[in-house]
Amino acid sequence: MIENINTLVDIDHERCVLVGIVQQQQTRWEVIDHLDELKALAQTTGAEVLDSVIQQRTAPDAAYFIGKGKLEHIACIVDEKEAQIVIFDDDLSPAQVKNIESILPVKVIDRSALILDIFARHAQSREAKVQVELAQLNYLLPRLTRQWQHLSRQVGGIGTKGPGETQLETDRRLVRQRIANLENRLEQINRQRATQSQKRDTRFRAALIGYTNAGKSTLMNCLTNATVHTKNELFATLDTTVRRLTLDNQAEVLLSDTVGFIRKLPHHLIASFRSTLAEAMNADILIHVIDISHPHFEEQIRVVKNILSELDTSETRSLLVFNKMDSIPSNGLLQQIKSRYPNALFLSARRHIGVNQVKQRLQSIMEESFETKQIKLNYKFGDAEYLIHPLATVLDKSYDEQYLYLTIKYPRENKEKILELSKKYV
């Protein structure tokens, strides 16, 4: 039994007000959409959103993030609507939170704290729990003031105040110790995973990636009869699931489904999940799932691409899959998008429409990137066959007095090495 981890802000069913700013190069509409997403995030935790406030500014205020006058206006809304929490769409510095809280008589959090909270609620496996707690504590460390003491007490457990330390210094020390401990545990988990993946066979690997709520898990379930939890909420999936997918030519693909991305994903989370994501994305192809019914799917595509480049996977081949085709309002719009993305696939995972295209495309991609060939190895070179194994999958074997004949399938990049071996041991 794995213990549940604590959430940072505990905003269960609280009444909240959202705040965003329109900066240079942004339109008010963009910020309204961003606040809609923040609302969906807040609702994922069960919070009730009472109001949203937007301010136009050339830059955030260093001390209060928004203008002091606007804060006083928010204080009135909080009072009138009996809000319990104010959530800012941008990251706030520890000093800004302190200053804002001197004006607003309620809890003040930022988007990162909210996302960390959702991750904490959804973490199921031991690995996800360690990753999320580590991200939470790294976020918390510079913000450690009296308001967070409930958490540092839980973190500290049996910790005692050292000689000459203030309570805050003790808390920081305990949090640092816990971070070190979690880093060790994560390193161990990563090492175990690395050993397992070294043993992994040479099967073709595909990873479902994309913005949160795009329908990755629904597509995974539809393609492989898996039973990954799917839900109309953000970050339904945190743990990677890998399933075997058999194509029409009987070739097998290992398909993985993993955590979704979002705009301004806290960098502590990216850091904690880096190794799991790198593992899932160390695939032959990334299947980038897009919710075509989302009014800003193009911004979502950009966000996903930026995170991929942060994870050093922008070189990996990717296939764009537009999902939720059933919810697009007009056929004209669909045709327009199709002409903009001529190589993409269009389908509906929930309604099982067009899903076979994914299998067919994977099959042709595999055929392009793999070659099959028969080679012969002379018995006098004893172990030569073992040198082939890391480079290719053996499909068939036959013998005569002098030679071993192998039908092998290998990624094109191994071609040169295989030719060299087969010349050397003939």
Ligand X SMILES: Nc1nc2c(ncn2[C@@H]2O[C@H](COP(=O)(O)OP(=O)(O)OP(=O)(O)O)[C@@H](O)[C@H]2O)c(=O)[nH]1
Interface with ligand X by CB under 6 A: which residues? 212-218, 230-232, 234-237, 260, 323-324, 326-327, 348-351
CB of 364 to ligand X, least distance (A): 23
Strand pairing of 318-323 and 345-346? parallel
CB of 350 to ligand X, least distance (A): 3
Query: Is 136 among the residues that bind Mg ion (CB under 5 A)?
Result: no
Q: Residue 373 binds which one of Mg ion, ligand X, none, with CB within 5 to 8 A depending on kind?
A: none
Distance CA 237, CA 234 (A): 8
Query: Is 237 among the residues that bind Mg ion (CB under 5 A)?
Result: yes
Site for Mg ion in 162-221 (CB under 5 A): 216-217
Query: Is 96 among the residues that bind Mg ion (CB under 5 A)?
Result: no
CB of 122 to ligand X, least distance (A): 8
Strand pairing of 204-210 and 252-257? parallel
Q: Which residues contact 341 (CB under 8 A, 6 or more apart)?
A: 320, 322
Residue in 81, 94, 27 with CA at minimum distance from that of residue 54: 27
3-state class (DSSP) for residue 52: strand
Q: Residue 143 binds which one of ligand X, Mg ion, none, with CB within 5 to 8 A depending on kind?
A: none
Distance CA 50, CA 77 (A): 9
Distance CA 245, CA 256 (A): 10
Q: Which residues contact 128 (CB under 8 A, 6 or more apart)?
A: 119, 122, 238, 239
Identity of the residue, 30 or 233, whose beta carbon is nearer to ligand X in the bound complex: 233
CB of 241 to Mg ion, least distance (A): 9
Among left, alpha and beta (phi > 0; psi -120 to 50; other), residue 295 is alpha
Please state the separation of Cα 244 from the chain's center in Å. Answer: 21
Identity of the residue, 216 or 324, whose beta carbon is nearer to Mg ion in the bound complex: 216
CB of 217 to ligand X, least distance (A): 3
Q: Residue 235 binds which one of ligand X, Mg ion, none, with CB within 5 to 8 A depending on kind?
A: ligand X
Identity of the residue, 97 or 236, whose beta carbon is nearer to ligand X in the bound complex: 236
CB of 218 to ligand X, least distance (A): 3
Question: For 277-291, what is the HEC assignment?
Answer: HHHHHCCCEEEEEEE
Q: Residue 20 binds which one of ligand X, Mg ion, none, with CB within 5 to 8 A depending on kind?
A: none
Q: Residue 19 binds which one of ligand X, Mg ion, none, with CB within 5 to 8 A depending on kind?
A: none
Q: How far is CA 294 from CA 128, 259, 274, 301, 346, in A?
A: 28, 19, 27, 11, 14
Identity of the residue, 39 or 351, whose beta carbon is nearer to ligand X in the bound complex: 351
CB of 387 to Mg ion, least distance (A): 41
DSSP states along 159-181: --PPTT--HHHHHHHHHHHHHHH
Q: Residue 214 binds which one of Mg ion, ligand X, none, with CB within 5 to 8 A depending on kind?
A: ligand X
Q: Which residues contact 412 (CB under 8 A, 6 or more apart)?
A: 369, 370, 371
Q: Which residues contact 401 (CB under 8 A, 6 or more apart)?
A: none
CB of 238 to Mg ion, least distance (A): 9
The answer to whether the CB of 25 falls within 8 A of the CB of 40 is no
Identity of the residue, 259 or 418, whose beta carbon is nearer to ligand X in the bound complex: 259
Q: Residue 213 binds which one of Mg ion, ligand X, none, with CB within 5 to 8 A depending on kind?
A: ligand X
Identity of the residue, 30 or 326, whose beta carbon is nearer to ligand X in the bound complex: 326
Q: Residue 215 binds which one of Mg ion, ligand X, none, with CB within 5 to 8 A depending on kind?
A: ligand X
Site for Mg ion in 323-342 (CB under 5 A): none
CB of 231 to Mg ion, least distance (A): 8
Torsion angle, CA of 222/225/231/233, rounded to 10 degrees?
Answer: -70
Distance CA 290, CA 300 (A): 8
Identity of the residue, 43 or 93, whose beta carbon is nearer to ligand X in the bound complex: 43
Identity of the residue, 251 or 320, whose beta carbon is nearer to Mg ion in the bound complex: 320
Identity of the residue, 55 or 230, whose beta carbon is nearer to Mg ion in the bound complex: 230
- Shortest Cβ contact with ligand X: which residue? 260
By the criterion CB under 5 A, which residues form the site for Mg ion?
216-217, 236-237
